[in-house]
Amino acid sequence: MSFLWQEALWLLLLLPLLVWAYVWLLKRRKKTALAWSSLAIVKEAMGQQRLWRRHVPPALLLLALAALIVASARPTAVVTLPLVEQTIILAMDVSGSMRATDVEPNRLVASQNAAKAFIAELPRTVRVGVVSFAGTAAIVQPPTLSREDVAAAIDRFQLQRATAIGSGLILSLAAIFPDAGIDLSQVTGARLMPKALGEPPKEKEFTPVEPGSYNSAAIILLTDGQRTTGPDSMDAARMAADRGVKVYTVGIGTKEGDTIGFEGWSMRVRLDEETLKQVAMATRAEYFYAGNAIDLKKVYQSLGTRLSAQKKETEISALFAGLGALLTLVAAGLSVWWFGRVA
């Protein structure tokens, strides 16, 4: 916990003075009180409970004052808060290798089913967009609150040749920052952004921020193979890192790889885990391995938990102020109950 106005904490030094003043008043009261013939008679008359009860309200008031002084120093703490608004882009591989059956029924169907289950459990305030990539990338669903539209977009995937992971990342950034004028010439084959996002202005200069510091959006990259074309994956990851966007990477398929046939040709597809780990690390995110459909579902469930809330440094002065007010009310209530007066 830290404080915005630390100087106010010096007021806590007044509390020992108040304790001293309270003790001094008690001694003065004893001197002026009516003399009793025996101290034992006094204790018997007052009772042991009455002796400690008289000190409880003042002690509570002292604690209340301490809480109010701490509140005046404006304390802050890192707390976990539910997200009010966030955008998540699912960048999903639709290259021919996704027809491999080492993940039942095949990698594509398993990823589609897990993705739809994932978005169904997200808070309704989170916008979700979908980018598919193979040889090129395309926005199949701009960010939206409609879970039905996102699920329909995922169901429309068409397998294509090649794997351009960098293209998927860059187009995902363009979906998050539609007004940034990100150059998509190497991504979609066109100089302008897709109509779904509107034509952007010329590319704007920006000041790089701390990687992972942008809390309003995140990218989930799911792929099963190595990059074969398009922009370099790490260059695209650095673009995301400079904008503070985290890229969570999910590798789907067996680590040993699989041989597939597609449109008259066959090839062995392997998972490039090292690159996916580097992409996640560069953007201050995490890499997840999904060797089967159950693992993939668990990965999405884990991501859902991470992306449904965020840790943020928040001022908690109101908590201490409320505690001070509550202690004051309790002290006053006990004083009236036990002694019939607020004193």
Based on the fold, state whether residues 48 and 174 are members of the same structural domain.
no
Q: Return the minimum-mean-pLDDT range out of 237-241, 261-265, 296-300.
A: 261-265
> Does the pLDDT at position 201 exceed 60?
no
Half-sphere CA count of 270, side-chain side, radius 13 A: 5
Q: For position 191, what pLDDT does the model report?
A: 40
Kindly give the residue spans of alpha helices, DSSP state H, lying in the chain. 14-32, 39-46, 48-53, 56-72, 107-121, 147-155, 165-176, 233-242, 273-282, 293-307, 317-339
Based on the fold, state whether residues 117 and 237 are members of the same structural domain.
yes
Q: For position 327, what pLDDT does the model report?
A: 83
- Band (pLDDT 50/70/90 cuts) for residue 46 is low
Q: For position 227, what pLDDT does the model report?
A: 85
Cβ pair 84, 240 in contact under 8 A: no
Q: For position 6, what pLDDT does the model report?
A: 80
Average pLDDT, the chain: 79
Q: Report d(CA 3, CA 75) in Å as an integer.
A: 4
Per residue in 306-325, pLDDT (tens digit) is 665 566 667 778 888 888 88
Structural domain boundaries enclosing 106 = 84-307
Based on the fold, state whether residues 221 and 89 are members of the same structural domain.
yes
Q: For position 148, what pLDDT does the model report?
A: 94
Based on the fold, state whether residues 145 and 183 are members of the same structural domain.
yes
> Does the pLDDT at position 104 exceed 50?
yes
Q: Return the minimum-mean-pLDDT range out of 82-86, 169-173, 175-179, 183-187.
A: 82-86
Q: For position 203, what pLDDT does the model report?
A: 58
Based on the fold, state whether residues 134 and 200 are members of the same structural domain.
yes
- Domains held by the chain: number: 2
Per residue in 178-196, pLDDT (tens digit) is 887 787 876 765 444 444 4
Can you tell me the mean pLDDT for 231-246?
Answer: 93
Based on the fold, state whether residues 54 and 127 are members of the same structural domain.
no
> Does the pLDDT at position 263 exceed 80?
no
Per residue in 271-293, pLDDT (tens digit) is 788 999 999 999 999 898 886 66
Based on the fold, state whether residues 91 and 66 are members of the same structural domain.
no
Based on the fold, state whether residues 291 and 319 are members of the same structural domain.
no
Q: Return the minimum-mean-pLDDT range out of 33-37, 76-80, 84-88, 304-308.
A: 33-37
> Does the pLDDT at position 45 exceed 80?
no
Can you tell me the mean pLDDT for 113-117?
Answer: 88
3-class DSSP state for residue 178?
Answer: coil
**Parallel, antiparallel or unpaired: strands 217-223 and 86-93:** parallel
Whole-Å CA distances, 333 to 54, 56, 339: 13, 11, 10
Q: Report d(CA 119, CA 304) in Å as an integer.
A: 8
Based on the fold, state whether residues 94 and 55 are members of the same structural domain.
no
Based on the fold, state whether residues 50 and 118 are members of the same structural domain.
no
- Band (pLDDT 50/70/90 cuts) for residue 264 is low
Based on the fold, state whether residues 320 and 296 are members of the same structural domain.
no
> Does the pLDDT at position 17 exceed 70?
yes
> Does the pLDDT at position 44 exceed 80?
no
Based on the fold, state whether residues 186 and 57 are members of the same structural domain.
no
CATH number of the domain within which 258 lies? 3.40.50.410
